Each structure stands twice: as C-alpha cells, then as structure tokens.
Amino acid sequence: MSIDYKKELESAAKSMILVHEPDILIKMIARMMVQKVKVIHTGILLHDEQKNTYILRVSRGSVGTRVPQEFARMDYNNPLISFFRERKDKEILGNGLIVYSEVKQLLRKRIHPQAEKILNAVLYQMDMLGAVVCIPSYFREDLLGILFLGRKVSGRDFKRRELDFFVALASDVAMAIRNATLFKQLQDELAKRQELFLNTTISLSAAIEAKDRYTQGHTTRVTNLCLEIGKRLISKRDIRLDSNFLEHLHIAALLHDIGKIGVPENILNKKGILDEEEWQKMKQHPTIGSNILHSIKELASAIEGVKHHHERYDGKGYPEGLDDDKIPIIAAIIAVADAFDAMTSDRPYRNAKSKKEAISEIKQESGKQFHPRVVSAFLQLCQEGKI
C-alpha cells in the first residue's frame, strides 16, 4: 500500500504544532519515521546549547539495532556535525542530505581529495550510527539537529519521494522543536519567577510578624490551614474554582495581614484591649494591604482575599460590609483559618482557647460570621484529624 507523503507531511506538521514539550515531540517524530517508512531503527541528534554539543536524544527501532539514547555525543568538530554546520552538504552533494549508497557511488569517481577525505569521515560516523540516510534540520542557519535512518525492514533502497518527504519533514521538525524549546524555556522562566515571587512573599509575611510580636508563626499556620480547606473545597466540587485558585489562595494567605505594616506598633503590641480609636486604626489594615498590592495586576484575586478577610457572612464585617456570596471565597477561607488560629493562640489580653472550644465556636458561627461551605470543609478536616 503506497503512502500519501504530502498528506502525511501535513498531518505531521499539524500534530507537531500542538506539542510543547521537546522530549515528547522528538519521540513522536522518531516513532512516526519507524512506523511510516518501516525502517529498522532511527534516531535524532539534537543540539545542546549549554554543552555546545549534539546528543542522541531519542532512538527508536528493534532491540539490538537502535543506538542507546544519549550514547552518541558529537561536538562541533565531529565530521558529521561539521559537514552540515558548514553546509558542505550543499557544496559537495548539492542536495541537503546524505544517502550512504549515493556517497559510496560518488567516492568511486574521481573527486577532489579534500572532498573524498571529508566524505569518508562522514560515512565512518554513519557506520557507527548504523545510518543509511542523514537529514539535517535547520532553524535559519543554525543546525538544530540531524535525523538519521537505518535500513528499511524490506532491505530496499529509499525512493526519491521518501527522501523528499524527510527533507520537508526536517524543515517542519526544526520549527516545531524551536517552538517547543522556546515554550519550555518560557515555562521554566515563569516557574523561576514564581518561585522568586513566592520567596519574596514569604519574606514580606515574615516582616509583618516581626512587627507584631504576638502573632509569630500566625501567617504560616493560617496559610497551611487555608490550603487544606482550599483543597477540600476543590475535591467537593460544589464551588466553581479556577485552575489558579490554590496559587492565589496561597499568596493571599501569606499576605493577608500585610496591611499591619501601616498600623502603629503601639497598637499592634498593646497588652490590653484596644480602645475605639485604636480599634478603628486596626480595622484599616485590610484596606491598607489592598492598597499596597493593588498595582500588581497579576494578584487581583489574591488582593480580594487580603482586602475582605474580615468581612462577615451576615454583612456585619469590614471594610465594606459584604455579605453572603458577595464575599470572595478566598477571603471567606482566610476568615475561618485566621479566626481559628487567633482563638487557639495566646494574646496579651486573654489566654488561648482549646482546639475543641475554637471548633465549636466556628461551627456556631456558620452562616453568621463564616461562610457555611467553608465551615463545612473545615469541620470535615477536623473530624479526619487533619486540623
């Protein structure tokens, strides 16, 4: 049964565009070459920018014929690599690929001694790989990799239309690998930035606790509890939450008291109950925190948690008196975790309540101070001994 190579090329190109993981992409390409053209084995040598070398990243075929993955490492001076990097394929062969049998025929003729030396060195490298065809893959003028093919299972030579297919495929492969590599680099960079941002956030939360000596460890405990409640709500699926919910909750919990930076230390560290004026200043900390963070657009959801974690389900909270489902779910989670930790921690004006007493109070305030669904998730965790 003959293969429609034009159709196969279009199908391959479409598939490759959708793959953003370089390792998965090259494995897919190698598998396709083995399956479509029925070769004994195939492989892809890919450029490693950090090591300035070309590494056999994937090898496919029957056991005993394929070259072990990462077994072959070739530097820029390797005859096969330099042949393509310096575009000697065009200069000597004129067709942009190496077919072992055709080069053998060429060497039987009278050719320039330097070209003969180069081609013999190239064939030696192909022998080591068990390759009968090598096709370069370029991005602009840079050699990204080399696709190589072993013999056909049938033992027949490659037809010209098959070789043309692989040359065209190599061009699509170069673009796909380049795109996948850039996408992977972007993901890695975002992950690094996220880690840096999270570390900065943790440092900020530590700075808050350094100012308020009575809440040491409070932020960490609240954050851990928030994440447990958040995970439980996700598993219950009775509230619609987006894919970034836990990330935003994590940041909001870490920064929920950042506004205390703007509250005088004599109020934060007062050993007695706050008077009315002091209480009004303390109540400003959610708004101060929101104002500190408002310029960071990526934190919009987290900022809502910072601003509204002292709202009450019955509308009697602050700063805006929101009620019911008008309160962002992130804020509602922080409200429960914050209250639980506050109740079970010593304060200068009162002793800590027992865990049992605090759980009972939160249960009683469900639908009044606290969001019922958040309380339900919290109580489940309590019953399971996770709090």
pLDDT along the chain (387 residues), means of 10: 56 58 68 73 82 79 52 85 88 83 89 90 91 86 86 85 76 69 66 69 67 71 94 85 87 88 78 87 90 78 93 95 94 96 81 92 95 96 89
Place of tokens 């056999």: 56
**pLDDT score recorded for residue 225:** 96
**pLDDT score recorded for residue 291:** 86
Q: Which helix (H) or strand (E) holds 111?
A: none
**What CA–CA distance (Å, rounded) separates 284 from 263?**
8
Place of tokens 């509250």: 263
- In the chain, the domains with their CATH numbers are 5-182 (3.30.450.40), 192-383 (1.10.3210.10)
**Cis? peptide before 319, omega within 30° of 0:** yes
* Side chain identity at residue 10, one-letter code: E
**pLDDT score recorded for residue 137:** 84
- Could you tell me if residue 224 is left (phi over 0), alpha (psi between -120 and 50 degrees) or otherwise beta? alpha
**Strand 98-99 to strand 41-48: parallel, antiparallel, or no bridges (unpaired)?**
unpaired
CB 291 within 8 A of CB 317: no
Q: What is the CA radius of gyration of the chain?
A: 33
Q: Tell me the CB-side half-sphere exposure of residue 69, using CA atoms within 13 A.
A: 9
**pLDDT score recorded for residue 64:** 47
**What CA–CA distance (Å, rounded) separates 320 from 311?**
7
Cα 170 to Cα 120, 136, 175, 337, distances in angstroms: 24, 7, 9, 56
**What CA–CA distance (Å, rounded) separates 152 from 155?**
5
Own/partner pairs, 153-157, CB within 8 angstroms, 24+ separation = 153/38, 153/39, 153/40, 154/38, 157/101
110 burial type by CB count under 10 A (0-12 exposed, 13-18 middle, 19+ buried): exposed
**What CA–CA distance (Å, rounded) separates 43 from 137?**
13
- Both tokens of 202, joined, read 């943790």
**pLDDT score recorded for residue 272:** 80
